[in-house]
Amino acid sequence: MTIPVALAALLAGCAAPMTDAVTRLDNRMAFAATVDQEQLQQQANALSRMARDLERRSRIKGAMTGAAVGCGLVLVSGSNAGKCVTGAAAGGAIGAVVGHHAGQRQVQKRVDLVSANALVRSLRGMTDQMDAITVSLPELLQEQDAELVDLAMRRDAGALSDAEYDAGVEAIRLSRAELAAALSASEDTARRARANMEEAAQQGQTGLDWHMLTTDNLVQDAQSARSEINLLG
């Protein structure tokens, strides 16, 4: 049976726009990101800031160092506190190691070179950020790898110019470089914080084992995440 000319024309007119629409839709949806790249970068930057806070909080307090060393990091009693603090001040450090009332009962106080509670706050924040990065980073890298393949295919098919292809690759390269830089900075800074904690422990402060172990884990996690990133160089 012969299809009426008008009906054939109508069908032909509908077919082409539908094909074009599907093609455009496929192009738009091919790399619909499941990972928010900007959010991931913000998390990496936050991790780096928290690492700096950790390093700062892990430094031995200068005002207490001389006093602590002068007292040998022992429990100082009211009877010898004056001598201890005087000796520390002579070494260039000022700070009360103990408080005591003259002629009253003895008061003892352990000297803490760093605030363990402050370190805990920084370490918990860093752990939360690192956990989020560990989950999202592999997914982002997979999406970018797929996009790189697509860019190459479209360039080879003549759908992209060389300049457009280069711009797409460069955008991915820059994204990865920023993430890698933030992770590397976090790793390096956390290492310094770990060294500060070790120094405090060597000078007599106790109770830092968990803090040092957690910092070690964060250093390893940041290093591992950084090693996953191919900088396309």
CA distances from 2 to 8, 16, 31, 139, 190 (A): 10, 22, 44, 54, 79
d(CA 164, CA 152): 10
CA distances from 146 to 108, 156, 179 (A): 64, 15, 18
- How confident is the prediction along the chain (233 residues), in pLDDT tens digits per residue? 444 444 344 444 444 443 343 333 344 334 556 889 999 999 999 999 999 999 999 999 853 444 444 454 444 434 444 445 444 444 444 444 434 443 333 333 346 899 999 999 999 999 999 999 999 999 999 999 999 999 999 999 999 999 999 999 999 999 999 999 999 999 999 999 999 999 999 999 999 999 999 999 999 999 999 999 999 97
Dmax (CA) of the chain: 120
pTM of this structure: 0.69
- What does the pLDDT read at residue 223? 98
- What does the pLDDT read at residue 126? 98
d(CA 201, CA 204): 5
- What does the pLDDT read at residue 34? 81
d(CA 59, CA 57): 6
d(CA 210, CA 121): 13
Contacts of 79 (CB under 8 A, 6+ apart): 106
Is 82:220 a contact under the CB 8 Å cutoff? no
